[in-house]
Each structure stands twice: as structure tokens, then as C-alpha cells.
Structure 1
Amino acid sequence: MDSKALVLLMLSMFCLHGILSGERPAVVNIGAILTYESAIGKVAKAAIETAVDDVNANDQILYGTRLNLFMENSNCSAFIGTLAAFKVINKDVTAIIGPQSSVIAHMLSYISSGFRIPLVSFASTDPSLSSLEFPYFVRMTQSDSYQMAAMADLINYYGWKQVIVVFVDDDYGRNGMYALDDELTKKMIKISYKIALPVRASRKNILGLLESSKVMGPRVYVIHASPDSGLEIFLAAQDLQMMTSEFVWLATDWLSTILDTFALSRHGILTSLQGVVSFRQYIPPSHKKNAFESLWSELQESGVTTSKLNAFGLYAYDAVWVVAHAIDEFLNSSGNITFMSNSNLSDIGGKIRIDMIKTFDNGDLVLQKLLNLNFRGLSGPISFDGNRNLVSGAYEVINIYGSMMHLVGYWTNSSGLSLSGNVTWPSGNENIPRGWVPSTREKPLRIGVPRRVSYVQFVTVSANNRTFQGYCIDVFNEAVKLLPYEVPHQFVPFGDGRSTPKYWTLINMVADNEIDALVGDIAIVTNRTKLVDFTQPYISTGLVIVVPTKSTKSSAWVFLRPFTVGMWCVTGAFFFLIGVVIWILEHRVNSDFRGPPKRQCLTMFLFSFSTLFHSEQEETLSTLGRFVMMVWFFLLMVVTSSYTASLTSFLTVQQLQSPIDGIDSLIASNEPIGYQEGSFAWSYMANSLKIPKSRLISLRTPDDYEEALLLGPKNGGVAAVVDELPYIEIFLSTKSGFGIVGQPFTRSGWGFAFHRNSPLAIDMSRAILKLSENGDLQQIHKKWFCNPNCTARTARSTEPNQLHLSSFWGLFMVCGIITMAALLIFLLRAIRQFLRYRKDQQKEDEASSIPSFMKNINRFFDFMDEKEEAVKNMFKQKQRA
């Protein structure tokens, strides 16, 4: 016998031994729990029965072991479904397929875990079933966690920020809605209203709940219902005239399931679904799928089923094969299937005899084999992730319009949303709906307005609360006119009229939905933006410092202020020095500097002062004298022009009466600081600048500002007032003797406050930009504020305007050096000429009896007289000529 024949003989004997020894059972029981008359149950029942027949007819799996199916009807009831579960478990089943309802699946998951029987559901999409609480639950379909991520991407794609969710108030509906809320929150989208429908809600109940939602702003509705009752929602919406271009209707995959299951024209269903967008679980095309669809057509013709095939029918068919593969793997590796009595049930008696139900010994092994599967079924690749969910996450986006469903895009868990077609919305509208209306006439927007007691130019409210005026009100009204839709609204005043309300309280009221918006002089600051959304700023602002000032126009000695004392002294000394030096340089050669001593003294002092006005009558003749005058005139030009500019400043600008010249000196002064009651200036100075709260004094009106500043810190007042620039501009236009010091030390603006993610905030921002671009915003500002004093006065410090010697010492030094150098040259030349003259007279001096020092003096003066006489003769000759 050759080797091949020997191997075949051994295999045959091994197989025969296995069959004879009973290691592979002839029959393995499985259970199924469905709702037979439901849209999904009708298809699933036929699909499961067909799958069992196909498994038993296939010799490539189970190898002689047959599946024996025990199917029970749960009748869409958790109670009946529980009883049905005990019935099939009592048949020693190795796995349970179903149920299709997430509500029933929760109950059966506890039972299957207790008896260690895998529960393979082909239609329970509730995400919470994947928790560790249900270790034997296996999802043979796509979890709603995928679908809700897809829904959030779709809503975000079109830019809608608020939605209304309609859901069935059971585990399936609530948990699906929670999953959607989580996904929307990631994208800063809000569920503004939730409509919880009772299970099997009547048309009357649905009409009432939908009617109440019409007064809400959002017009984007997400419907998460069951296939058997969800259509009533659209029928009710059609009755309420809500299937119009103003509304957006989005549905989860329950809608595509019912449309796939029944004929599209059934009961005129498409009439109430025009423009609806829905998801459908994506099943990739394959030869197996095509063959099964052909088989399904034969089943319909033979009367086995009357329903069309839907996605859940494919998943139900694959669920049977998943169970068959898992059992086959288990039998190949572990041997016989065994059950044992449950000791926990031994003390439970009664007619039902629950204590007789056995626990599946090998349930954990079968579960493990099932979770490790990886093959391709009718629904596509089949494998499971760590949460016992089918690895998938792909949906088709369908749009219902006309007489059919149109495929407009896809969503996958890996690549996200991809739209390839145009969506037709309700009423045939192809433009993307706004998905939101700000208000209705039945419920107009409640716009909060602060009742100010000061600076009423911004906001003022009449005594009867009917008239609202001011700069902020005008800007809001003009912006509303530019919106492409009507915004019914009513102003609601806040405040007792005795004190301005705290704006933080009003901001919190918007955040808590007590009012819809806030209009007024509302500063946009960081902490407020965490609670509400602001529009584009309609006016720029910032905190500034106001201090008392005094005018120098009426001072009799203001002309002395431009120079410091040192500057005046040095300038006067140079006038004297220049006069003396010029006299010395010109005395010998210029007759204008000669004469009696009294006349020469007057000439000496008057000459230098007359140069200040270029009115000197004496002419300089010597080269050195002219050089000195050139430098002196340059110095006078610089000094006099600087003096003129400084004096002009002193005569036209008010000066500080306070040592505070900016925010740094204000913080370091340790003196009281005033701020406007209710302003954010308090929190900024206390929290950001760390100024002690004891230094901050609340002031209510401009009169309080004036009184506190005039009193000063020593008399119970304040050293300065810190407030926003628009208020200070009004204050300075009505009060004199005050000015702004330094620059604004914050940069901000005023805007209108709305709820977080409010589309109206975006539209109003665009309207404000249009007002700015077309000049209307400037005209409104001019209407309320511009007058002859509308420009804020800025105070300046005295010290920087005075001219110090340090600014001119270089120029004085150069002038002094040149002057002294000219004088030194003159003296050296005079001495040299004298030495020559002395040499000629030396012989004559030796014969004289006069002392030598007296001779030298006499000769020096004789020398000088001779020079002067020579000069006189020269001038006389010039005059004669």
C-alpha cells in the first residue's frame, strides 16, 4: 500500500471514530427572538430561516452537524421577550440571534450573561449595549455611535448651530439622542429643544409636541424613531404646515429601512417625505449579495415573504452564519457541547421551573470563537472590534424627492462626510435653508436693555417703559433692518432707575436663557465671551485715566515757564559775556564801541541784547568779532525757536494738577481711584492689575466724577477716575478742568450679547459691518455725540515742556569756547605787537631815571594811543574819499 492510500485510510478511520464516539453532535440548537409583524421582523424572520437552511445544506461547514432553530415572537414587548428568551434557553441553545429592539436587547443581555449564551443582535443599534455590563452581547450591525457622528458631520457641513431632536422615549431613543448630543458638542452645535415621544405615540400626541416646537428658533429637526411609528411624525408635520422651505428634516436610518422594506407608493408615503435627508447603512456590492437578492425575489413570488429586502435582513442572514462559524470553530477545537444546572436557580421553584434551565458550559469559548471571526458575508467583511461591535461605520446619504430616493453622498468612519450630489429640501428648495428663525410673532425675542442713571446718551428708557432711545438702541435697530429676515422682538428694561444694573447679572441672564439678547453699552471682555456670543464691535473703547487739570493762560509769569532757572541764568550770563567780548574785540578798531566810559558800558550791554531782535546799531568790523557773532546768532536762533514753541504749549494746553501721568504712576500712588458703578473696570483693576479693593471707589454719575476729582484724595475724593473712553468723552465735553493722561491701557469694544452659538449674532455682525462700510454708523455717532466739544481733551505734564540746560549745554559750550578762543587770540596779538614796540624803545629807557615797571605801563598805553590815533586817521581818510 502506497503512502497516499495509507493517509486516506487513517483519515477515514479517524473520522469514523469521531462519529462513533459522539464528539461532534448531530444537532446544535440555536434560538431567535423577533417581532414577527414589525418592518424589520418580517424581513429578518425569512432571512434567518433561509440562512439556517443554507448552512445545513452546505457541506463545507459543521460537517454533518445540523442547526436546529427555535424562534419565538417577542411581540415588541420586553416582558414577552423575556418569557420568549426563557423558552428558547430551555431548549439548550448555544446562541440567540436577535432581538431587533434595543429595549428588549437590554433585558435579554442580562439573561444571556446569566446563562453564558452569546446574544447576536442584527438590529439593536443602541450604543450603550456595548458596555462591559453586557459581556455576551455581540452587535451584528452598525452602532448608532457611528450614525450620530455622521449626523453631526452633516449638520456641521451646512453650518447649522442649533437643532431640535425628536426621539422615542425608550432606551433606543434616549441613548441615541445622548450619543448625538456628544457628537454635536464636539462641533460646538447645540440641541436647543428635545421632543420625547411616548412609545406608540398617537397622532394627537405628536401634533401637540411638534406644535409647541414651532415657536422655537431652530428649524433643523433630527428624527430618531422606530421604523414602525416614525412615519407618523412626518404626517403630523405635514398637517402642521412644517414641511416647507423654512424647515430642515433629517432622519436616522430607520426611515431608509422602512422605505426599502415597503413599496414607495404605499399609502402615499412619499408625499409627506419630500425634501427629507436620511442615512442608510452601506452594504458594498458583491456576487453573494446579488445572488441573495435574486433568491429573495423568488421567496416573494412564492409567498414566503411579502416584504422587500432591507439592510437588516442581510445582517440577520449573516448573523446565522456568524453563529455557525463560531460553533464550527468550537467543535473543531473543544469537542462536545455540554450544559449543567445553575446552582443560583436551584432554590427557585414553581410551575415555570426556572431552576430546570441549564447554563451553557462552553458559552465563553463559543463567544471567543465568534469574536475572532473574520470572513465575508452578504453585508460585507465581518469582524468585531474590542467593544463586540461589527467593524464597519459606513452610511449612504439619501435625499427623498419626487418618486424616489436619491443618493447624494457617503459617510465613513475613516474619511468622514462626502457629498456628491445636490440636495433638494422641502418645497423643492435647492438653496441651503438657514435652519433657524430668530423668533416668531407668537414668541418675539426678549431683548434686555439696562436702565442707566447716567450717560443716558447710550441707553435711555422712558418712565412708562415704552420708549427706548440712545446710541446703542439706534445701532441695533438699524442693524436689524439690514437682516434678510424679520426679527420680531421686544425690549425689556432692567434696573430700578436709582442705580445702573450690574452688567454681569444681565450677561448671566442671557446665558441662562432668561432673556434672548442684551443690547446696550456692553463691553466685550474675556470672561463674558465664555458665557455668551457677542457681535462685531460697533464702537472701539478702552479704559482711560482722568485727572484734574489747571490752565496756565491767565498766569502773569507764564512767559518764564518755558525755561528752567538754570537755563535762564546761563542764557543771561552769555548775554553779558558776549557783550564784554565784543567790546574788547571792537574797541580798538570800531568807533561805535568808543567814547566816554558810561557810553561804552551802555553800548557793551545793550549790544548783546539787541542781537536777540536783530536790531543792533553797532557794526562789528574785526574778523574775530564777526566770527563770534556768527556763532552767537546761531545759538540765539535755536534757543528762541525752542522758547517760542514751549511757550505756545504752555499757553494752549491744560496742565496736570496731579502727579499721575499714566497707569504705572496710578498703581504706585496708593491713592483712591474712582470707577463707574456697574462697570467691568472694577474687576479689571482688582483682578488683573492687583490694585487693593479698598482703593476703588464706586461713582454713579458725571457729577460724582467731578466732585470726587475736585475734592482730591486728601479731602475724601479720588486721585483719578478710570472708565471707558466713550463715557469719558461725554464727561469731558460737559465738564471743564479735567483731562485724560496716558494712553488707553486696554483695547476692547462694545457689542450685543446673544446665546452661545446663536446664528443671529453672526448675522448681526455682518449687519454692523455694513453699517460701518456705508457710513451709517458714523452718522449715528454724530447724531448722539458730536458737538463743538466732542473731542476728548488730553492733559499733559508740565515738566516735559520746560526747556532744561541739559538740552542746550553742548551749544552753549561751543559758543563759549569759540568766544574765549577769539578773546585769547586778540590778547596774544596785542601782546606780540607790544613786545615789538618795547624793543624799539629799550635804548631810550636805559637813559631815563623812571622805574622800569612804570616805564612799561606808560609805554603800553602810549602804544595803545598810537594805534587808536592810527585808526582814527584811517577812518578820516575813508570819509574824505
Structure 2
Amino acid sequence: MDLGGIAKVPVISFSATSPSLRPRSPYFVQTGLSDDAQVGAIAAIVESFKWSQVVLIFEDSEFGYGIIPYLSNVFQEINIRISYKSLLPVSASSDFLLKELYKMMTMQTRVFVVQTSSDLGARLFLKAKEIGMMNEGYAWIITQTLMDVMYLMDSNVVEAMQGVIGVKPLIPKTKRLDTFEMRLKSKLMKDKTKTLDHPGFRQADLSVFGLWAYDTLWALAEAAEKVGRGREAKEVLDSSSDPFAVGVSESGPELLQAILGTRFEGISGKFQLADGKREASSFQILNVVGNGEREVAIWTPSSRGINFKTNNGTNFYSSSREIFKSSVIWPGGSTAVPRGWEVPVAGKKLRVGVPVKSGFTDFVRVERDKELNRTQVSGYYIDVFNSVMSALQYSVRYELVPFEKPDGSSAGTYNDLVYQVFLQNFDAAAGDISITANRSKYADFTLPFAEGGVFGIVPIAYEDVDNIWTFLKPLTKQLWLTSIVFFIFTGMAVWILEHRVSSAFRGPPSQHVGMILYFPFSTLVFAHRERIVSNFARLVVVVWMFVVLILNSTYTASLSSRLTVQRLKPAIKDVNQLIKNGDFVGCPEGSFIPDLLKEKGFQESKINTYKYPEDFHNALSNGSNNGGISAYFDGAPNTKIFLSKYCGKYTIGPSYRTDGFAFVFPRGSPLVADVSRAVIELTENGRILEIGNQGLGNEATCTGPDSTRLGSTSVKLQCFKGLFAITGGITGSCLLVFLVNYVYQNRTCLQTILDSKTTVWSKIVAICRHFDERDTCADPPRDPKEKIPVAEGGEVGSSSYISEVPADLLRISSNSSVVVPLNIEEQTVPV
């Protein structure tokens, strides 16, 4: 390649398939398919069987390395994890191969993708067969290099490779290929030596590389004809002592362009080059069975899927592995699709780490028998883990290993235990381990098997019914203020609507203010005596009395309940109160809760950790001011047990939501999905709840104060927003209609006041005086015989009456309070 680039001579190869070769020289042409063309077909196989991880086995050469980056990228796109990469020297010894195979045998992954030369691949599969890695449960995928030379391998190698899946470029069946096959077979039959070497020649024995070689030479011949090599060679001979070198050098670029532009239908399919390499084509998916291979599917680069062949030979698009189940024979002669992973063999068990804790051992308990030198792990969550693992469809051998120091104490926090799983010191972890964002960076969690949440436990306090302000407690401050505002608003609205038409709402300014404040409050006990004349005012009063009736009933019921029933309340209602007061708080030792409290705003110096429930109880009893704590935070299960043990002394305060308790496995572990499904199954059939009732059934049940009475019972504004909206809307509408009507009826007078050349304040005073005048047009008609009250000095509104004077014979002067009789003969009236 380097020499060709210097001399500008095309270097054409039909067998160098590594994709890393192409960028090194523009004069290098790959007429065979590059290895990166087959990664899509390999990824489609893995994706179809829903395998989650694979192992890559490749040789230490340019050929082996070239395909690895492309495989890594395509697996990453479909979320397939490469759990291990095995690099094999080209001349690897049998001992090296055995050591590497044994290493892979102890891993969980059972899907292997092999990219090696034929010689190394043959020795690899013989050793794999020898140690049992070609048995049921394993899946092997080989690339086109090994698959194409399968017919050349010894029978013992083919026997060792039974059940292997491989990919191979699809060679379309054409008339030209049939003709070539017949001519080649006839030629071989004439050579007795080759006939003995190939006693049963078949089309399958035609190597893809051989077909590519044939088409490559054909393309070169066509390119040479296009360049007109004969004529150019003659001209060079006349002018050069080294005609071959000069001729090739001068015609190299032109010949390169001619080769790249050559297109024809060859015996290996369509010959067409793009960017110096052959264009990608479809691939056969073959299964090694018997003495050779058989086609089970076809992959096309455009579909990203697999076209499976039915019995009648037609093709259809599908990615269902159900079709593969009936088409592929797997290692060991099995037709069952390999799961893709297994628990490590060679007698190794899963090491499941278990936290060592002092308090709340109902969930996880580690006990050491010193006489028998044996450690026993038990508890509710351990029973759940054992039940879940037993519910799997396959057997998993494991042992529970306490996370402890040699002296039996805890070896670290729960975060440390999860990190040990990340470091592969444990294969899993079980216990009361909460799911957190930080821990999920290092390990995978199954679905939660128990509820989450962090609850604050605070001492119980009782409401003081002897407080002098107890009568204000039934309603919240917001509801009190809103009610007062609407009382005043309603009184003002009624006064505005009645002032001009009703004598009961007239008088000096002090009487106006008193009427505005008095009238709505008098409706509380329905003690108002004022006559309502306006229909608008009547509507406002009716709606307001409905609101007052509900408010009054609610207040009476709430106050009666407070005075007759003792009520509980948390001593601390929210975290902000704790932080503001600078109170000390507590939490269990080794949990994630200290980090959570720091995130909420607590100072590290204000957070104390404890081991035993008794320590929590003593600290809460002392209080923050006496060397204790004001609140204790713990997970939901622990708080239930704590409250049942100290019934009637503490209650739930501030709380936070968490994602629950789950089992821990290394990142990418295939056990996560299966264990999660088992958790769902046991949750739905009630088995986990049954285990809890059995394991925690002996816990005391709290029969103290009713927890439903905890917290504030004051009636909130939210309950009356609808009522206030109704009365406010109706009252406002009535006022608006009344004011519009007033302006319309008195528009002439109001316009005169507004057009006067006085100050703005004088205009406002004049309008207010006009509004203050009585509207005589709104007086209801009176009975002619009705007695008119006359004041003792002649003022209207007095309790005295004019004797025997009909109302229609009197005229009331607008300028004085004198009552003058009209058309009265021989009768006098006191003036």
C-alpha cells in the first residue's frame, strides 16, 4: 500500500477486509466487502434473541482489530453491553487458549462473537468443545472469514462447531454463476488430483473470496481496455529505457479512476465501488449443522432487521425470535434459545452482601454462633430475598455474606456496601437498602419490594383548650380576614342600595357608618329589623344570609368539637421550623438520611446518629435544649416499628418521598430483569405481604390516640371560596346595575355638576350630596287612610300622628320640616 501510494499505482485486494486499511492510501482499492459491512447483521442476531451482553473474541492483528470499533458502536446503539474482550495472539498456544476459555467460562455472559483467522478459529473451537463450552446454553457467532472457509475445515473441527451461527455475504443465484460453476466443475474433473481433493464438489464450496477474485480481474481487464493500455504502452516504449515502470506510473491515476468507475453484474453479484471499497450487500445468516451450514435467515442493510425464510421459500420482514426457535439448532443439539447468560460455574456461588445493623433487627438480623463458628442471617427482607430467588425459573446458587469486620461490627455504611458490589467484591446485596440517585451510579437496583419514604418522628403535643384565644381556633386566619372583609363589603353594598329609598338607612354620617357595620353582623342571629325596600338589596341579603348560615354552623361545630374532644398535634410541623430554631435532629447510623437532611438545609453539626431505638427514644424525650433532639428521621418500615413500641408518645412529622427498598446487582447484570419480574409476581399474588405478616406479626399494635386526629383541624378558606365567590359576584352585580341606573336617571344633574367651573374636590362633594338626597320617586304608594308620623316639633319621623288627617291631604315641604294641610276646611294643624 505504501509503495503504491508513492508510485501512484493502484493496489487492488479482494481478500484484505479490515476497515482500518482504507484510509491509509487513496490508491488502495478493496474489491471485497469490508468487515464493517457485517456488523449490522451480527447486531441484528443479538437483538433478535434479546441478549443483553456479549463477549468479543478477536485475534491480535490488523484483521482482528479492524472490526472491533464498529462492533462496539453498533452494540452501543441497541443497548447491548460488551462484558469482556478476549485478545488472542495469532500463534496462541493450547494452554493460552484453555486459560482464556476457562476465564470466560466463569463469567455470566454466554454469547460469544468470534473474529479470527481460520487456523486460530479451528483451534479455539476444538478447545471450547473439550472443556464443555459447546454445550447447551452457549451461543457462538462467527464472522464471514470463518464462515466462508467452513467447507475447508477438518471434520472434527466442523463437529466441534455444531450449533454455531455465522454470517456470510449473500451471493445471488444467477445464470452466469451457474455457467461458471459448470465450467469450473468440468475443469476439476479433468484433473484427477483435484478430483480426489474435491470428490463431491458443490456450489457451496465456491469461496466468496474466489468469486471476488474472479470479478476483480474482470473489472481490471475492463478498466485496462478503457484506458487504452496498448496504445499508451507503445508511445512509452518509443521514449523510455524503462517502459514498464514509466508506463504504469503515468497511467496509474487514470487506471485508478477507471477501476473505481467500473460497474457490471459479476458472478459474486453487482460489482460497484464507492469510496475505494465495495458497496455493502445483504448477508446470509447460516447455522452450522451436520457436515456443513444451512441458511436460516437473510439480513439486508436497509431494513435493520432480519428477513426470515418460511418453508415455502418466500421472505418476510420480522424480528421475532419465535421463528429462530424453530430454525436454529444451538450447541448441544438444543432447539431452546440460550438465555445469553448463566450463573458462574466451577462451584462458585453468588456472594450476596448483607448489612450488619444493631437496631431494628426485625428486617435484617445477623447472628453469630460462637460455639459452632457459624453466622446466621435472617429477617423479613432476607425472607423476601430468598422467596424471590426461589421464584426464578432457574436455580441460582448464592450465599449470604455479612458486610462486617473481623470483630463482627459493621464494615461501613450502606453506600459502602453498594460500592463493594461495584468493585465486584460482592455479586449482589440484599437488605433494607434504599434506592438513591447516588447509589444508582455504581450499581443496578431491582424494582422496589417495599415502600419507601423518610418520615420524621416528633413528640406528641395536645391542643390547649384552656387558652383564652381558643374561640378563634375553629377558623384559619385567612378565613377570618376574608369573612370580615365580606361582612363590611355586604354592609356597604346594602347601605348603597337602600340609602336613597329607605328611611332606615338615612341619618347623620355616624349613623351611616354604624348601619354599615351593624347590619351584616345582625344577620348572624337574624336580629335585623330594618325594612329592605330595593329588590337588589333583598337579593344581596338573601345570598348573604345563606353564607352566614353555613359559616355559623361550621364555626359552632368546630368549636364544640375542640372544647369536648382532646386533640393531638405534632410538636413540629415542618422542617423549616426545625432549621429556623436551630434544633438538633437524629437519624440511624450508616444510612443515606444524613445526606438527605444536609440537602434540605440542616447543618452537619445539628445531625446526630444513633444505633438503637432506645437511643432515639431517650434523645427525643430530652429534647433539643437538653442534649437530645427535636425530631428523628428514618425509613417508613422502621418508623412503624418505633411508633408501635412507643405508642402514644410520638407521631409523624415532616416526611419525604423515596423510591423504596430494592436488591442490588452489578451494573448490566442480567439478573436485575428476572429478579424484578419475580418481585412483581410475588407482590401481585400477595406472597410478600404474607411474609411480612408472618415475620412482623408479633409486633405490638399501637392502640393509643387516633392518628386520624393528628394535625390542624381549623376550617380553611379553601372550603368557602365558592360561597364567597357567589355572594361577591351577586353583590357586585347588584351594585353595578344600581349605579348604572342611578347615573342614567340623574344624568342631567350629574352632567351639570361635572360641567361646573369648580375644583375636582368640589365636584366630588356635590355628587356625594346629590346621592345623599332621598329618592322620593322610589317611595311606595301609601293607603289614603294611613296615618303619617309627625315629630313633636313638626318633624317627619316622630312617633306623634296628625289625628284624622288623610295622607293625601298633606304636602311636605322640601325646604323645611313643616307639615301644611291641603284643602282642609275649619281644621288646624300644629306648626
TM-score range, shorter chain: 0.5 to 0.7
Residues 161 and 637 of structure 1, relative CA distance in 2, 3 Å threshold: closer
Tell me by how many angstroms 1:562 deviates. Answer: 6.3
Deviation at 1:638? Answer: 6.3
Work out which of the residue numbers 410, 417, 425 in structure 2 matches 1:506. 417
Indicate whether 1:250 and 2:141 are aligned.
Answer: yes
Q: CA deviation at 1:189?
A: 1.9
The one-letter amino acid paired with 2:571 is: Q
What residue is the counterpart of 2:176 in the other structure? 288
Deviation of 1:741 (Å) = 2.2
> Residue 194 of structure 1 corresponds to which residue in structure 2?
85
> Secondary structure of the residue that 2:24 maps to in structure 1?
coil
Q: 1:515 to 1:364 in 2, by over 3 A?
A: farther
Supply the AA of the counterpart residue of 2:65. Answer: R
The equivalent position to 2:571 in structure 1, one of 643, 657, 681, is 657
Aligned to 2:222: 325
Counterpart of 2:29, as a letter, is V
Aligned partner of 2:644 in structure 1 is 733
CA offsets per residue over residues 143-193 of structure 1, 9 Å max, x none?
Answer: 222222321221121011122333223222233344323322222222323
Correspondence for 1:378: 267
Relative distance call for 1:243 and 1:791 in structure 2 (3 A) is: farther
Q: 1:174 is matched by which residue type in structure 2?
A: Y
Matched, 1:447 2:352: yes
Of residues 395, 400, 414, the one that matches 1:491 is 400
Residue 682 of structure 1 is matched in structure 2 by: 594
Q: Which moved more, 1:136-145 or 1:204-213?
A: 204-213
Contact 1:439 1:487 in 2 (8 A): no
Computing the radius of gyration from Cα coordinates, the structure with the larger value is 1
Which residue pairs with 1:478 in the alignment? Answer: 387
Percent of matched pairs sharing the same residue: 30
List per-residue Cα deviations over 1:107-166 (Å, max 9, x = no partner): xx3343344332222122222223x33333222122222222321221121011122333
Mapped partners of 1:258, 1:460: distance in 2: 60
Residues 486 and 313 (structure 1 numbering): CA distance in 2 closer, same or farther, change over 3 Å? same
1:768 to 679, 686, 693: 679
Among candidates 424, 433, 445, match of residue 338 of structure 2:
433
1:314 partner SS: helix
CA distance in 2, matches of 1:177, 1:751: 36
CA distance in 2: counterparts of 1:369 and 1:686, whole angstroms: 72
Distance 1:560 1:438, change over 3 A: farther
Is 2:426 aligned against 1:515?
yes
Partners of 1:672 and 1:334 lie apart in 2 by 100
3-state SS of paired residue (1:728): helix
TM superposition shift of 1:333: 13
Count residues in correspondence: 622
Compared with structure 1, are the counterparts of its residues 512 and 188 closer, same or farther at alpha carbon in structure 2 (3 Å cutoff)?
A: farther
Which whole-Å CA distance do the structure 2 matches of 1:803 and 1:326 have between them? 92
Letter in 2 for 1:157: S
Report what 2:318 is aligned to: none
2:211 matched residue in structure 1: 314
1:225, 1:714 → 2: CA distance?
74
Partner of 1:289: helix, strand, or coil?
helix
Secondary structure at 2:639's aligned position in 1? helix
Q: Are the aligned partners of 2:285 and 2:298 in contact in 1 as well (CA < 8 Å)?
A: yes
Maintained 8 Å contact 1:274/1:401: yes
Contact 1:260 1:309 in 2 (8 A): no
**Is the contact made by 1:215 and 1:442 (CA closer than 8 Å) also made in structure 2?**
no
Number of the residue aligned with 1:755: 666
Three-state SS of the structure 2 residue aligned to 1:416 is coil
SS of aligned partner of 2:345: coil
Kept after mapping to 1: 8 A contact 2:568/2:711 = no
Q: What is the distance in 2 between the residues matched to 1:336 and 1:358?
A: 6
Deviation of 1:476 (Å): 0.9
In structure 1, how many angstroms separate the alpha carbons of the residues matched to 2:130 and 2:551? 96
Distance in 2 (CA, whole Å) between partners of 1:566 and 1:491 is 57
Contact (CA 8 Å) 2:155, 2:291: kept in 1 or not?
A: no
When the two chains are superposed, the root-mean-square deviation of aligned CA atoms in Å is 4.2
Contact 2:15 2:32 in 1 (8 A): yes
Residues 311-320 or 725-734, more deviating:
725-734
Q: CA deviation at 1:404?
A: 4.4
1:313 Cα deviation after fit: 0.5
Distance 1:147 1:766 in 2: 35
SS of residue paired to 2:586: strand
Decide which of 182, 186, 211 is 1:298's aligned counterpart.
Answer: 186
Q: In 2, Cα distance between the equivalents of 1:456 and 1:333?
A: 95
Which shows bigger deviation, 232-241 or 715-724? 715-724
Correspondence for 1:390: 278
For residues 339 and 510 of structure 1, the distance between their equivalents in structure 2, rounded to whole angstroms, comes to: 74
- Which one of the candidate residues 143, 155, 162 is aligned to 2:53? 162
Tell me what 1:746 maps to.
657
1:456 maps to 2:365? no
Kept after mapping to 1: 8 A contact 2:111/2:140: yes
The structure 2 residue matched to 1:706, chosen from 607, 617, 621, is: 617
- The two structures have a TM-score, normalised by structure 2, of 0.66
Partner of 1:864: none
Mapped partners of 2:640, 2:230: distance in 1: 89
The code of the aligned residue for 1:657 comes to A
Q: Write the letter of the residue equivalent to 1:116.
A: K
| Distance across 1 between alignment mates of 2:683 and 2:703 | 20
User: Is 1:120 equivalent to 2:34 in the alignment?
Assistant: no
- Residue 146 to residue 741, structure 1, CA distance change in 2 (3 Å): same
Q: Is the 8 A contact 2:474 2:713 kept in 1?
A: no
Provide Cα deviations, 1:73-123, integer angstroms capped at 9, x if missing partner: xxxxxxxxxxxxxxxxxxxxxxxxxxxxxxxxxxxx334334433222212
Contact 2:282 2:300 in 1 (8 A): yes
Conservation of the 8 A alpha-carbon contact between 1:741 and 1:795: no
- With over 3 angstroms needed to count, the CA separation of the structure-2 counterparts of 1:272 and 1:446, relative to structure 1, is same
> CA shift at 1:396, angstroms?
0.3
> CA shift at 1:523, angstroms?
1.5
Contact conserved, 1:499 with 1:700, CA < 8 A, in 2? no
Q: Report the equivalent of 2:453.
A: 542
Q: Secondary structure at the match of 2:660?
A: strand
**Kindly tell me: are residues 450 and 116 of structure 1, through their superposed partners in 2, closer, same or farther at Cα, counting changes over 3 Å?**
farther
Cα distance in structure 2, aligned partners of 1:357 and 1:475: 83
The aligned counterpart of 2:313 is: none
Contact 2:403-2:410 within 8 A present in 1 as well: no
Whether 2:31 is the aligned partner of 1:143: answer no
Distance (Å, rounded) in 2 between the aligned partners of 1:536 and 1:338: 81
Check 1:127–1:471 CA distance in 2 against 1; reply closer, same or farther (3 A cut).
Answer: farther
For residues 346-378 of structure 1, give each alpha carbon's deviation from its aligned partner in whole angstroms, at most 9, with x where no partner exists. xxxxxxxxxx99993553443333333333322
Instruction: Kindly provide the amino acid, as one letter, of the partner of residue 395 in structure 2.
Output: E
| Unmatched runs of 5 consecutive residues or more in structure 1 | 1-108, 341-355, 568-631, 812-827, 829-833, 841-881
Task: Work out the CA distance in 2 between the residues paired with 1:683 and 1:181.
Answer: 38
The 1:715/1:335 distance shift into structure 2, 3 A limit, reads: farther
Alpha-carbon spacing, 1:675–1:795, altered in 2? closer, same or farther (3 Å)? farther
